[in-house]
Structure 1
Amino acid sequence: MHVWAIANQKGGVGKTTSVVNLSALLGEQGKRVLMVDMDPQGSLTSYFRMNPDAIEQSVYDLFMYKGRVPDNLTAQLIVDDVMPNVALLPANTALATLERNISQQGGMGLVLSRALAQLWDDFDYVLIDTPPLLGVLLINAIAAAQVLILPVQTEFMALKGLERMIHTLQMVTASRKKQLTYLIVPTMYDRRTQAGQRSLRTLRQTYDDRLWKSAIPIDTRLRDASREGMSITQLDPTSRGCEAYTSLLKTLQHDLP
């Protein structure tokens, strides 16, 4: 099982969009895919027309057992077939209380890793959507991941957020005593603007060895797909957004160490 976390300590950079569309493309390949919503805002859960304020069973339940995960609990929380070959472990807004309730408990950084271990033979890929804040949920996602995907909007303030995310990654990998492969993915790129061009140039100068060589463009069809609760490959497989995510998936599957 391959586990990818999509993370950035800044919101609005395309994390949820990336999880949905990479998962859909993997599903089209016939892979069994699980998406995990670790964000208390529940953007990924909401994408598929579920209400994070009302949903009863969610990833929150995994954290109720002092770091243990009862046998078969994880499978009971999964919503099947939100897209072809793609399932979802949803979030509810109660996740926002975890920092206050469990921050002093030991062993809480590995809850998601233990949960996914129960599903090792059930899925080919797991993609984790993460909150834009450093805390127990983001730490769980990084600890569970084999590859970290860092979407970064091609504008100045998003680049500052990327610096914080890289620093967090360095701290976590130092504590794990294990290097984590990561790929920086420029998103919302508008080649018509000087700001977009400058930001992409800065990324290439600063992070060249960790940077995806292309970019996810601004594409209104991605927004249309979100509004319809669909992936871009379901809505418009000929769109620029779909082409970009197809290229990104190829890099993730074949070009990373």
Structure 2
Amino acid sequence: MKVWAVANQKGGVGKTTSSLALAGLLADAGQRVLVVDLDPHGSMTSYFGYDPDKLERSGFDLFLHSGQVPQGLARELLVRTSHGRIMLLPASTALATLERQSPAKSGLGLVMSKALAQLWNDFDHVLIDSPPLLGVLMVNALAASQQLIVPVQTEFLAVKGLERMVNTLTMINRSRRQALPYMIVPTLFDRRSHASLSTLKLLRGRYPEHIWPAYIPVDTRLHEASRAGLVPSQFDPGSRGVIAYRSLLKTLLGRQAGAQPT
């Protein structure tokens, strides 16, 4: 099972869209996919028609056992989505209360790793949608993952968020046995916008080894897919956004294969 986290310490950069677009393409290719919503706002959970304010059980339940995960609990919390090959571990707004606790308290930083260990043979890929702030939930996402995807909106304020994210990753890597590889993905790119063009140039110059060479364009079809509750490739497989995400997935899978020991 491969686990990818999608994170940035700035909101509105396309984390949920990126998570679901990649998940949909993997599922379309026959992979068994789990998407994990670790954002208390529950955007991914709402995407599939579940209400984060009303769910009786959610990923929050994983954190209620002093850092341990009772056997079978992770599987019990999963719900179906509009795609037959994608399951969801939903979020509830109660997740926000965890951010007042220390990531080190009772081993809470490794809860997601322990939960996914119970599901290791059930899925081929996991994508974790993280909250836009450093805390116990983001620490869980980064600790559990083998690849980090950092969507960055192509506007100047987003570059500051990226700097914070890279600093956070440097800190997290000190406690990992192996550094977490990451790929910066320019999103919401508008070739007619001077800000988009300038920011893309800046990102390429500042992070040449980690940035994906292409970009995800502004595409209203991605928003329409969200309103329909369908992953983008189900809604419109030929849209500009889906074509771009298909190229991104090819790059990610290529790097993943290249990183595996021979």
Structure 1 and Structure 2 fold alike (TM over 0.5): yes
Which residue is equivalent to 1:183?
A: 183
| In structure 2, distance between residues paired with 1:81 and 1:91 | 14
Q: Residues 158, 114 of structure 1: CA spacing in aligned structure 2 closer, same or farther, 3 A cutoff?
A: same
Deviation at 1:101, TM superposition (A): 4.9
AA aligned opposite 2:99: E
Which residue is equivalent to 2:228?
A: 228
| In structure 1, distance between residues paired with 2:104 and 2:67 | 12
Q: Percent identity?
A: 57
- Structure 1 unmatched ranges of 5 or more: none
Do the aligned partners of 1:28 and 1:84 also contact (CA within 8 Å) in 2? no
Which residue is equivalent to 1:170?
A: 170
| In structure 2, distance between residues paired with 1:178 and 1:22 | 24
SS state of the match for residue 149, structure 1?
strand
| In structure 1, distance between residues paired with 2:65 and 2:20 | 29
AA aligned opposite 2:246: T
AA aligned opposite 1:27: A
Deviation at 1:84, TM superposition (A): 2.5
The CA deviation string for residues 78-128 of structure 1, in whole angstroms up to 9 with x for no partner, is: 003431200000000000111235657231100000000000000000000
Do the aligned partners of 1:41 and 1:93 also contact (CA within 8 Å) in 2? yes
Which residue is equivalent to 1:40?
A: 40
| In structure 2, distance between residues paired with 1:210 and 1:148 | 11
SS state of the match for residue 249, structure 1?
helix
AA aligned opposite 1:211: I
The CA deviation string for residues 186-214 of structure 1, in whole angstroms up to 9 with x for no partner, is: 00000111110000000000001100010
TM-score normalised over the length of structure 2: 0.96
Alignment of 1:63-74 (within 5 A): 63-74=63-74
Deviation at 1:32, TM superposition (A): 0.2
SS state of the match for residue 183, structure 2?
strand
Alignment of 1:77-96 (within 5 A): 77-96=77-96
Do the aligned partners of 2:113 and 2:144 also contact (CA within 8 Å) in 1? yes
SS state of the match for residue 97, structure 2?
helix
- Structure 2 unmatched ranges of 5 or more: none
Which residue is equivalent to 2:243?
A: 243
Do the aligned partners of 1:24 and 1:84 also contact (CA within 8 Å) in 2? no
Do the aligned partners of 1:21 and 1:232 also contact (CA within 8 Å) in 2? yes
SS state of the match for residue 175, structure 1?
coil
SS state of the match for residue 10, structure 2?
coil
SS state of the match for residue 200, structure 1?
helix
TM-score normalised over the length of structure 1: 0.97
SS state of the match for residue 152, structure 1?
strand
Q: Residues 28, 66 of structure 1: CA spacing in aligned structure 2 closer, same or farther, 3 A cutoff?
A: same
Number of equivalent positions: 257
| In structure 1, distance between residues paired with 2:114 and 2:177 | 19
Which residue is equivalent to 1:253?
A: 253
Do the aligned partners of 2:42 and 2:90 also contact (CA within 8 Å) in 1? yes
Deviation at 1:237, TM superposition (A): 1.1
Which residue is equivalent to 1:3?
A: 3
Do the aligned partners of 1:46 and 1:52 also contact (CA within 8 Å) in 2? yes
1:118 to 2:118 alignment: yes
